[in-house]
Amino acid sequence: MRLGSQSCVALGNQKGRRPVSQPVSTPPERWLKLLSLDGRLCHRLNQISQREGPGRFFAAVSRLGDGSFWYLLLLFLPLVQGRYGLLVSMHLALTGVCSLLVYRWVKQSTSRLRPFHEMPGLIRREPPLDEYSFPSGHTLHAVAFTLVLASHLPLLGWLVLPFTVLVAISRPVLGLHYPSDVLAGAVIGAVIAILTITGARWLLL
């Protein structure tokens, strides 16, 4: 009974008052620290490209990761593995289409600018394929392709793995992505690969 009367009084006191404006929310301190760490790691990795040799090397790796390496792999597998290689190439192609759709949707949804736009002094070794940074499409596709390949041909998957790692490293080295973009791309690519592998096995049952 007392609680009810107090509630009525509280409601009565609120009548006629102007709504109190809420303070603008700021990002949590932990989130700001993570963003700061992301920027520092990006700057540290980008310093590698200041040396001509490593800069050219990672630029070449990144260009291969644009698609040419994976296109050659799609053509190579049927020649070496026959019909089974053709099935693997079809699975890789389907994974590539799924990855591209997800990649474009996430990029347009987040619209994060690339680090060379926001960090003075960063060296951009290669032109970007599009405007936004999150996630790293190169890493997303490389991880997805590598996992799908390893599910069919484990030895070949292990042979491709070093190239995938180099592609991922090359993106912040070239000033095109934050490390968090690369990490997110790897996670998304792994999820897409697991889903397509599971779907392929279900169809073959």
pLDDT at position 27 is 61
Residue 68: both structure tokens together: 């040419």
**Averaged pLDDT, 48-68:** 92
State CA 186 to chain mean position distance.
6
- pLDDT tens string 141-187: 999 999 999 999 999 999 999 999 999 999 999 999 999 999 999 99
Query: CA 166, CA 60: separation in Å to the nearest integer?
Result: 10
Q: What CA–CA distance (Å, rounded) separates 176 from 182?
A: 10
pLDDT band at 95 (very low <50, low <70, confident <90, very high): very high
The predicted model gives 9-36 an average pLDDT of: 59
**Quick one: 171 exposed, middle or buried, by C-beta within 10 A (0-12, 13-18, 19+)?**
buried
pTM recorded for the entire structure = 0.82
